[in-house]
Amino acid sequence: MKSLVHSTFFISVILTVLALTSLRLGLAQVATSTNYQLQSDSLNFGGGLSTSTNYRQESTFGELGTGQSSSTNYMLRAGYQQMQEVYLSLTAPSDIIMSPNLNGITGGTSNGSTTVTVTTDSPAGYSLSIKSSNSPALQNGVNTIPDYNQGVDADYSFLVSGGAASFGFSPSSVDVVSAFMDNTSLCGVGSLDTPLACWAGLATTDIPISEGIGSNHPSGATTTINFRVGVGAGTGVLSGLYTATTTLTALPL
């Protein structure tokens, strides 16, 4: 029987941030309702949207394209359809070394975690997602450990049966998405964010993990991502250094 002896599981987290600007711009809504938010309005007497097979044009009559004005503390973009910008930042997560090392004969679990903070002044908020570079995510050359997949949805408890091994993650945040919220027994229902609950497997496509509504500048919102490797007794996973690379993507809404 092949066994896993003193194998170290190492996860490298790569940071990806989209739509990052160097300026923090304060935005105000000119009109809102239960379902909609109007960011800016236009005072004019004509124009509008025109389209054809190959072109799309928006025009106006009676409004000046004043342009950009700035001072030490403020920036103003005035006039017709001046571009609005939002501030978005994502702290760099640390690499993770899972602990403890596992033995393939007796099995067990190995754990690790990292945290990231998303800060934005976007009036609509932000979204944070995670994906892996490979499938399965955790690899050692041609040897792999399957992604956690006990069910289609997240499992409240991390379950590994004898003769099996898997690698999963569990996010935790004040902004955690509903798929990872729980009612102390099931995930995807309830309003709780129980620590170390609701486990899922990584994928090579983005999986939403946090979504905040409204500006959270300057404090930001922190998400903790827990990782776990479970090895059932007698699994016979080959010994070695297993690594997984994940990408975190933050976007303004």
- Confirm if 94 and 113 have CB atoms less than 8 A apart: no
Assess whether 169 and 71 both reside in one domain: no
Residue 17 resides in a domain: yes
- Radius of gyration, CA atoms only, the chain: 24
Residue 94 resides in a domain: yes
Residue 97 resides in a domain: yes
Assess whether 73 and 191 both reside in one domain: no
Assess whether 58 and 147 both reside in one domain: no
Assess whether 68 and 188 both reside in one domain: no
pLDDT of residue 104: 65
pLDDT of residue 103: 75
Assess whether 56 and 136 both reside in one domain: no
Instruction: Give residue-wise pLDDT tens across range 169-215.
Output: 999 999 999 999 999 999 999 999 999 999 999 999 999 999 999 89
**Domain encompassing residue 220:** 9-23+87-252
> What sign does the CA torsion over 38, 42, 43, 44 have?
negative
The contacts of residue 227 (CB under 8 Å, 6+ apart) are: 11, 96, 98, 111, 112, 113, 167, 168, 169, 244
For residue 206, with 0-12 CB atoms within 10 Å meaning exposed, 13-18 middle and 19 or more buried, which class applies? middle
DSSP assignment of 1-39, as one string? -----SB-EEEEEEEEE-S--S-------SEE-SS-EE-
Per-residue pLDDT of the chain (253 residues; tens, 9 = 90+): 333 334 444 444 444 443 333 333 444 455 667 766 666 666 666 666 778 888 777 677 666 666 677 787 776 666 665 556 788 999 988 889 999 888 767 778 999 999 999 999 888 899 999 999 999 999 989 989 999 987 678 999 998 877 789 999 999 999 999 999 999 999 999 999 999 999 999 999 999 999 999 899 999 999 999 999 998 877 778 888 899 999 999 998 8
Nearest to 155 by CA among 144, 169, 137, 140: 169
- Amino acid letter for position 28: A
Residue 35 resides in a domain: no
Separation in Å, CA 221 to CA 37, 92, 178, 182, 208? 22, 14, 16, 20, 15
Assess whether 144 and 198 both reside in one domain: yes
Assess whether 139 and 187 both reside in one domain: yes
Residue 158 resides in a domain: yes
Assess whether 74 and 170 both reside in one domain: no
Assess whether 153 and 181 both reside in one domain: yes
Assess whether 123 and 212 both reside in one domain: yes
Give the number of domains in the chain: 2
CA 244 to CA 10: how far, in whole Å?
A: 7
- φ, ψ of residue 53 to 5 degrees: the values are -60, -35
Residue 129 resides in a domain: yes
pLDDT of residue 222: 97
Assess whether 58 and 174 both reside in one domain: no
For residue 244, with 0-12 CB atoms within 10 Å meaning exposed, 13-18 middle and 19 or more buried, which class applies? buried
Assess whether 16 and 134 both reside in one domain: yes
- Confirm if 202 and 137 have CB atoms less than 8 A apart: yes
pLDDT of residue 10: 46
pLDDT of residue 116: 96
pLDDT of residue 18: 39
- Amino acid letter for position 229: V
